[in-house]
């Protein structure tokens, strides 16, 4: 009987421990590393909804400040700014405010960028230099590349 109870206790403990580990993916080493990579670089948009963006001086870009949890950059015409919160790989970005400059020839890109950003639900960083912002259906809505990358 003692052996049965000991086996039951050990089995229950392993099951409970496994359940706890599976319930806390937001604290995984991978999620923490990805959060740090997200917040250590300036990112330039390379694709919106799967369509390539030709890089030039007005290409949208984002920077995530880990100290203030502010996101800022440009939308292709105007300066943008807002706040964000991260939990694991999920990211919640507040509606982005922007300056109101006249955007001759670039308003469509700006509008597409803001629309895509409203759909962002989570993120992933690949090879320390590619940031993918995904919607709830796991579709990449914005892809960005880092302005600087240091190989380790």
Domain boundaries, the chain: 28-146
pLDDT of residue 143: 98
Quote the CA–CA distance of 33 and 56 in Å, as a whole number: 30
Q: How many residues does the structure list for the chain? A: 152
Q: What is the pTM of this model?
A: 0.78
SS3 content of the chain, % helix, strand, coil (to 5): 30, 35, 35
User: In the predicted model, is pLDDT for residue 67 greater than 70?
Assistant: yes
Q: Does domain 28-146 have CATH number 2.40.128.270?
A: yes
What number is the average pLDDT over the span 45-68? 93
Contact 29, 90 (CB under 8 A): no
Q: What is the dihedral of CA 108, 98, 54, 85, to 10 degrees?
A: -120
- Chain segment 78-125, per-residue pLDDT in tens: 999 999 999 999 999 999 999 988 877 778 899 999 999 999 999 999
């Amino acid at each position: 009987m003692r052996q049965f109870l000991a086996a039951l206790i050990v089995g229950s403990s392993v099951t409970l421990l496994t359940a706890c580990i599976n319930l806390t993916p937001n604290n995984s080493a991978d999620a923490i590393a990805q959060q740090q990579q997200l917040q250590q670089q300036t990112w330039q948009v390379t694709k919106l909804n799967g369509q390539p963006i030709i890089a030039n001086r007005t290409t949208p870009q984002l920077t995530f400040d880990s100290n203030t949890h502010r996101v800022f950059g440009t939308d292709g015409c105007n300066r943008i700014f807002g706040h964000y919160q991260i939990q694991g790989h999920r990211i919640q970005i507040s509606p982005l405010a922007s300056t109101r400059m006249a955007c001759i020839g670039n308003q469509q890109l700006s509008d597409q960028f803001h629309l895509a950003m409203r759909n962002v639900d989570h993120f992933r960083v690949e090879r320390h230099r590619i940031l993918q912002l995904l919607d709830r259906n796991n579709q990449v809505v914005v892809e960005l590349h880092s302005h600087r990358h240091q190989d380790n």
